[in-house]
Amino acid sequence: MTALQQGTTEVVDPVPGAGAPHLPDQPDLVQLLTPEGERVEHPDYRLDISDDELRGLYRDLALVRRWDAEATALQRQGELGIWASLLGQEAAQVGAGRALVDGDMAFPTYREHGVAWTRGVDPLHVMSLFRGVDQGGWDPVARSFNLYTVVIGAQTLHATGYAMGLQRDGAENAALAFLGDGATSQGEVNEAMIWASTFAAPVVFFCQNNQYAISVPIERQSRVPLYQRAAGFGFPGVRVDGNDVLAVLAVTRAALAAAREGSGPTFIEAFTYRMGAHTTSDDPTRYRLAGELEEWKLRDPIARLKAHLSRTGIAGPEFFTAVDAEGDELAARIRKGTVEMPDPAGTEMFDHVFAEQTPELAQQREEFVAYHASFEGEQ
């Protein structure tokens, strides 16, 4: 047995789709780009897209993944309190984010880094939240991207309320509510859907079904495919291949257009997979098998677009090298910016509680300052 092959078995950059057990028979799954990188047509969802846009989507996906990898490393180095990785869900997020137009508003969970990216949010403004320096540093109105919501499913109510506001303003825009598969079991989400349905509110519920509510598999969360639940609320439900950025873009565009036109809500189930841990505090090997992860690696959202771009000649090696280099620059900027973030002044906790400061808080702030001034030396 001396000459036994003991090489590493990790597939770093698998041939997309090679031997991939295709998704279980899902006749309703909308797909425009197969795991092998083949463009296919769908009768209901057409997508006319330029080469520039395709390259742009690839760049989005690759840069978001690079950011995510750097953030995970920074957490392991003690620079972030926690990090919720989006690894594997890039296409679902970028596709959905790129479907938004001016005036639309997105309501994220705490994992929507890819959507944040498409809305032009500086990654450092997300990092500051996970470093515990602030509550998220971006302007939700300017970026049309609400602050991260950590309470599971609460943002679906915010989005529905916002959409009803749009409706009353007569604005031709829509709200896009993000949620995970686990959130569909929350009361708020069901309430939000009932209200949205009843009022035909211009809101799209974009559910990334990444197969696990932390450790609970989807089979133990729902007796029916999630998208079929929409029928019970009285609006359409669509299941899209969440690892296919083109299909996600097409489906979300169509749903947002319908909402803007007054056709009411849509529920989109982006069928995807969380390839990393729930957060850096989680160990997925305790509740799922390595084989499952390997299967999903073969459906990787980035590898399939790369295969498509390469095969069609839309992008060549120099393009991919340039994107990689840009990713490394981005990562370096994120690292430096995160590590150098100053601790916030203690008084900041009083400053943003209300839009207008209240006398009670102002007084507490003064007392806080005086208390700290009562010590010797520098703080």
Partner 1 sequence: MAELRQFKLPDVGEGLTEGEILSWLVAVGDSVTVNQPLCEVETAKAAVELPSPFAGTVTELLFDAGTTVDVGAPIITIDVGGGSDAAPAEDAPTGSGLIGETNANGRTAVLVGYGPRSTEAKRRPRRGQPVAAAQVTAPQVLPEADHSPAHTPLLATAPDARVKPVRHGGLEAARAAEAAAARRPADPAASASSATAGRGALRPLAKPPVRKYAKELGIDLTTVRGTGEGGVITRADVDAALAPPAEPQGAAAGDTRIPIKGVRKHTAAAMVASAFTAPHVTEFLTVDVTRTMKLRERLATRPELAGVKVSPLLFVAKALLLAAERHPMVNSSWDEAAQEIVVHGAVNLGIAAATPRGLIVPNVKDAGRLSLAELAGALTELTETARAGKTQPQDMTGGTITITNVGVFGVDTGTPILNPGESAILAFGAVRAMPWVHKGKVVPRQVTTLALSFDHRIVDGELGSRFLADVGALLHDPGTALAF
Question: In whole angstroms, what is the distance from residue 98 CA to residue 119 CA?
Answer: 8
| 270 bridge partner residues | 208, 240
Residue from the set 141, 290, 355, 370 that interacts with partner 1 by CB under 8 A:
290
Residue from the set 11, 214, 231, 362 that interacts with partner 1 by CB under 8 A:
11
Q: How many CB atoms lie within 10 A of CB 280?
A: 19
**Residue 90 contacts by C-beta under 8 Å, 6 or more apart in sequence?**
60, 61, 64, 65, 114, 245, 301, 302
Q: Please identify which of the residues 119, 253, 260, 278 carries the catalytic annotation.
A: 278
Q: Is 50 in the site for partner 1 (CB under 8 A)?
A: no
Residue from the set 343, 353, 355, 356 that interacts with partner 1 by CB under 8 A:
343
Name the segment binding partner 1 (CB under 8 A); options: 31-39, 73-81, 156-164, 201-209. 73-81
Q: Is 12 in the site for partner 1 (CB under 8 A)?
A: no
Question: In whole angstroms, what is the distance from residue 142 CA to residue 146 CA?
Answer: 10
CB closer to partner 1 out of 187 and 291: 291
CA distances from 117 to 130, 242, 291, 315, 379 (A): 16, 17, 31, 22, 36
Cα 170 to its chain centre, rounded Å, is: 29
Q: How many CB atoms lie within 10 A of CB 290?
A: 9
CB closer to partner 1 out of 168 and 286: 286
Q: Is 27 in the site for partner 1 (CB under 8 A)?
A: no
**Residue 40 contacts by C-beta under 8 Å, 6 or more apart in sequence?**
31, 32, 33, 34
Q: Please identify which of the residues 113, 274, 299, 304 carries the catalytic annotation.
A: 274
Is residue 326 within 8 Å of residue 63, measured between CB atoms? Answer: yes
Is 45 annotated in the active site? no
- Residue with token string 């749009």: 166
Residue from the set 77, 215, 358, 363 that interacts with partner 1 by CB under 8 A:
77
Closest CA to 185 of 162, 160, 163, 207: 207
Residue from the set 47, 73, 171, 218 that interacts with partner 1 by CB under 8 A:
73
Q: Is 43 in the site for partner 1 (CB under 8 A)?
A: no
Q: Is 24 in the site for partner 1 (CB under 8 A)?
A: no
Phi and psi torsions of 342, nearest 5°? -70, 150
- Shortest distance (Å) from residue 5 CB to partner 1: 6
**Residue 215 contacts by C-beta under 8 Å, 6 or more apart in sequence?**
278, 282, 284, 286, 287
Residue from the set 36, 60, 68, 70 that interacts with partner 1 by CB under 8 A:
70
For β-strands 216-217 and 212-213, DSSP reports them as antiparallel
Is 46 annotated in the active site? no
Q: Is 165 in the site for partner 1 (CB under 8 A)?
A: no
Q: How many CB atoms lie within 10 A of CB 42?
A: 16
Q: Is 377 in the site for partner 1 (CB under 8 A)?
A: yes
- Burial class of 362 by CB neighbour count within 10 A (0 to 12, 13 to 18, 19+): exposed
CB closer to partner 1 out of 20 and 54: 20
Name the segment binding partner 1 (CB under 8 A); options: 226-234, 243-251, 273-281, 349-357. 273-281
Residue from the set 104, 244, 282, 300 that interacts with partner 1 by CB under 8 A:
282
Name the segment binding partner 1 (CB under 8 A); options: 153-161, 179-187, 250-258, 369-377. 369-377
Q: Is 82 in the site for partner 1 (CB under 8 A)?
A: yes
What does the per-residue mask of binding to partner 1 show for 293-312, with x meaning CB under 8 A?
A: --------------------
The total number of residues written for the chain in this structure: 379
What does the per-residue mask of binding to partner 1 show for 120-149, with x meaning CB under 8 A?
A: -----------xxx----------------
3-state secondary structure of 149: coil
CB closer to partner 1 out of 47 and 341: 341
Is 274 annotated in the active site? yes
Q: Please identify which of the residues 39, 220, 287, 352 carries the catalytic annotation.
A: 287
Structure tokens at 335: 């690292």
- For binding to partner 1 (CB under 8 A), which residues are involved? 1-7, 9, 11, 15, 18-19, 69-70, 73, 75-82, 131-133, 277, 280-283, 285-286, 290-291, 335, 339-341, 343, 374-379
By annotation, the residues acting in catalysis are 274, 278, 287
